[in-house]
Amino acid sequence: MVIKNYTKASQQLREKLPLPLKPLAEIAYNYWWCWTTERISLFRNIDPDAWQQWNHNPVALLQFVSLERLSQLANDPDYMKRVKAVSEQFHRYMAIEDTWASRVAPQITHDRPVVYFCAEFGIHESLPIYSGGLGMLAGDHLKSASDLGVPLIGIGLMYRQGYFRQRINGHGWQEDYYVDNIFEQMPLELITDADGKPITVELEIRNRVVKIQIWRVQVGRVALYLLDTDRHDNDPLDRWLTGHLYGGNQDTRIAQEVVLGIGGVRALEALGITPAICHLNEGHAAFCTLEVARMEMQRTGKSFYDVEQSVRERCVFTTHTPVPAGHDVFSGDLIESYFSHYWPTLGLTQEQFMAVGARRLGDPWEPFGMTVLALRMCRTANGVSALHGEVSRKMWHIMYPDRPMEEVPIGHITNGVHQRTWTAPLLSDLYSQYLGEDWINRIADPQMWNKVDEIPDEELWWRHQLLKERLIAHTRTKIKRARQQRGENPQWVDAADRILDPNVLTIGFARRFSTYKRGYLLMHDLERSLRLFSNPERPIQIVFAGKAHPADEQGKRILQRIYEWSQQHSLLQNRVIVLPDYDMYTGRKLVQGVDVWLNTPRRPLEASGTSGQKVCFNGGINCSVLDGWWCEGYQTGPDGKGMNGWAIGEDAHTSDQEMQDKIDAESLYRLLEEEIVPLYYDIDPNTGLSHGWIKMMKGSIKTNAPLFNTDRMVADYVAKVYAPGIQLDVESIRASVLV
C-alpha cells in the first residue's frame, strides 16, 4: 500500500513556495522530518530565529517566512540539492512495501490495521498534546511502527490548549498557564468529505449531542487521528471537553474518556477503517470496548454476553500504573449520568453495566474502574516492565480469586525508546563510523552494539563534551530568559551566563514532580550534599526539570524546596539549576548532554520509565533505584559493582517511608562519594581522559541500547500480542529507514 503523501493542506502550502522548494510542503506535513538532523536542519536553515519563535514548527515557519527569503533559497544551488535529496528519500521511505512487519506478520494488513488508542502522544514539541512518559512512549511506538512497517493507526484527542505551561516565580513556586494551539498553523489536517465539510461523529454527553471533528497527523507511514469537540455548533461547555490534557475534575475526565473510547470507534467507522486489533494504551480508552460490542451486536443481532468473546479477541490492553490510586474509577452516580442512555443499547440493566467495571462482582458499592473494564474486555493485558507485570498481577489478583497470583493473566513487555528521535546527531555519526552505515536499521541487534568497544575513547569523549556544552548553553539561555521575564536586576540576569561548568560532573533529574519520584532525595542531608557540590577539586552539578500537576500541591512544594535550596548558598547558585517549562526539546538536550541520569522513585512505583533509556543511547550513565526498567538494565561485574551504571539502595526495602528515604539517601551519597565522583575525576595525565568513566559509558550503551528501544518493543507487541505465535529473532528485527 502506497500512502498518499499530498493533502489539501500541503497543496495549499505548496502554492506559496517557489518551484524548487515545493517538496518542503509535503515533508512539513509528515513528522518523518523530525527523526534526523538533516531533515530538521532543512527547515531550521530557512530562518533560525523564526524556527525558534514557532517552536520548531515547519508549517508555521513556511506560512510566515518572507517571499524574499524563499526566493533566496530557491536560487541557492546547494540548498536546492538538499531539498531534492530529502524529498527523494521521503518518497522512497513512504513507498517501501517489503518491510520487517510485512515479512513476519503478513496477517496484519492496511485493510485491517492495529488501532492504538491513547490519551496523549509525544511526537514533537510542535504538537504539544503530551504531558510526560505515557505520551513519549505512545509517540515512540508510532514511529517504530512506521519504521518497521507495522500497519497501525493512532487515535487520540486534539487539545486546544494541551498540557499547562510552567513559570517558576522568584519564590520558586510553580505558576501554571495555558497557550492556545492554532491548529491551522500546525502539521495536521482537518478531515473533510468530498464537499469540503468536516467529517463528524456524534455522541450524547450530559444529555446533549456533541459533534466531534477529526484531525489527521501523519507520522511517517502511520496516521494519527485526533478528536476535537471545539466546534461552533457545540455547547460552549462541550467545546472545552478537548480543551486541556489531564485538566478539570472527574466530570471532565469521564467526558474525555467517552470521547476517546466511544468517539474513537465511531470515528474509525466514519473514516472507513476496520481495525483488526484495538490496542488500549492505558485505561483511558477502555470505553471503546463497549462501543465495539454495541456495533457487533447491531451487526449480528446477538446479545452483549454473546459478543463478549469476539470483542475480547479484537482488544488488547497495556497498563502503565503500578498503584491502585492511579487508575481511573468513577462513582455509580457519575456513570449513571453519562451512560443511562447507553446501557439499554447494550441490552444491559444498570446493575449489569456496573458489574462490567466492578472488581468484585455483585458488590453494589463498587465503583466503575476503567482498568477493570479493560481487563475484562481484552484478550491480553501487559505491564511495561518485568517488575511492573509482577506488581500488576498482585494488584489485580482480586479479579481472579480462583487463580494463584502468578497465573493472573497480566504479562509484561518492557518499554523502549525511539532511538532515531532521541540520539544526538553527533553520536549517530559516530555509530555510523564504527558500527556500520546501516546500524540505524539494526538497533535491536546485540552483536552490532558490541562494536562500541572499538570506538576510540577520545572520539566518544569529545563528542559527549560538545553535547554537554550545548546543554549548558541551552540551560543558560532558558534561565536568563526566565530571570528577565521575572523582572530581576540586570546583574542577576547576566549571572545566568556563568551557571554550570562543562568540566564538572553533570547530573540530570527531569520528570514529573510528584512525591513518589523523590526529587528531594539528594537534599536529605544538606551539609553532606553541600560538600559534594562545593568540593573545589571534584565538584558535581545538577539540572532539575519537570512539572508538578496543577492540582498537586505537594509536588509544587518539592519543586519550591529544591529551588530555595539552590538559592541558599552562593556555591550552589551556579551548580543546582531548576529549568522551567520542561518539554521535548529540553528533554532531548538533557538526555544527550548529562553525564549521569538520576532516578529516585519509591520502589515499586515506577512502572517502567524511559528517560534513562534515552540517556544510554547518548553515552550517559544511569544512577537509579532498582525499579521499572532498570531492574532489567542494571548489570554488575565479577566484583559485584555496576558495570553499566549504579543501583541506589540495592535490595534494602522497608514499608517505613522515612526510613526508606534515609536508606536510599545514604546509598546515593555513598555512591557519589566513593564510586561516581572518584571515577569521573580519575584522569589519565597523558590523555586527559578518565578511561574508567568512558568504559562505563560504553557499557551503558552496548548493554542497554539493543534491549530498551521501541523497535524491539514494537516487535514484541507484534509477536506476543498483535499476531501471537510468531517466533521472534531479535537479530532479524530491521527497520526500513533509508540512509
Of 34, 47, 120, 730, nearest to 422 by C-alpha is 34
Residue 120: pLDDT over 70: yes
Eight-class DSSP state of 597? E
Which pLDDT does position 714 carry in this prediction? 98
Share of residues in the chain with pLDDT > 70 (%): 98
Distance CA 201, CA 204 (A): 11
Helices 457-485 and 691-704, interaxial angle, to 10°? 90
Which pLDDT does position 2 carry in this prediction? 32
Distance CA 380, CA 434 (A): 41
Which pLDDT does position 362 carry in this prediction? 65
Q: How confident is the model at residue 5 (pLDDT cuts 50, 70, 90)?
A: very low
Which pLDDT does position 3 carry in this prediction? 37
Predicted confidence (pLDDT) per residue in 265-287, tens digit: 999 999 999 999 999 999 999 99
Strand partners, 177: 165
Amino acid at site 519: G
Which pLDDT does position 4 carry in this prediction? 40
* Interval 126-135 mean pLDDT: 95
Of 187, 229, 184, 181, nearest to 204 by C-alpha is 229
Rg (C-alpha) for the chain, rounded Å, is 26
Which pLDDT does position 117 carry in this prediction? 98
Residue 363: pLDDT over 90: no
Q: How confident is the model at residue 657 (pLDDT cuts 50, 70, 90)?
A: confident
Which pLDDT does position 478 carry in this prediction? 97
Residue 52: pLDDT over 60: yes
Cell numbers given for 729: 529473532
Distance CA 229, CA 402 (A): 44
* CA distances (Å), origin 451, targets 456, 619, 703: 11, 14, 11
Residue 647: pLDDT over 50: yes
512 versus 646: the higher-pLDDT residue is 646
The residues near 410 (Cβ < 8 Å, ≥ 6 apart) are: 319, 375, 381, 382, 383, 389, 392, 393, 396
Which pLDDT does position 568 carry in this prediction? 86
Residue 317: pLDDT over 70: yes
Under 8 Å between Cβ of 730 and 445 = yes
Predicted confidence (pLDDT) per residue in 496-505, tens digit: 999 999 999 9
Q: How confident is the model at residue 727 (pLDDT cuts 50, 70, 90)?
A: confident
Measure the CA angle with vertex 557, ends 243 and 328; round to 5°.
45
Predicted confidence (pLDDT) per residue in 688-716, tens digit: 999 999 999 999 999 999 999 999 999 99
Which pLDDT does position 426 carry in this prediction? 95
Distance CA 118, CA 141 (A): 11
Q: Which of 30-39, 368-377, 469-478 has the lowest mean pLDDT?
A: 30-39
Which pLDDT does position 546 carry in this prediction? 95
* CA distances (Å), origin 703, targets 447, 453, 524, 690, 728: 10, 11, 32, 20, 20
658 versus 262: the higher-pLDDT residue is 262
Which pLDDT does position 651 carry in this prediction? 66
* Interval 49-54 mean pLDDT: 95
The residues near 67 (Cβ < 8 Å, ≥ 6 apart) are: none
Residue 738: pLDDT over 90: no
The label of the residue with cell 461547555 reads 237
Distance CA 69, CA 459 (A): 38
Which pLDDT does position 15 carry in this prediction? 93
* Strand segments (E) across 391-475: 411-412
* Interval 42-52 mean pLDDT: 96
Q: How confident is the model at residue 315 (pLDDT cuts 50, 70, 90)?
A: very high
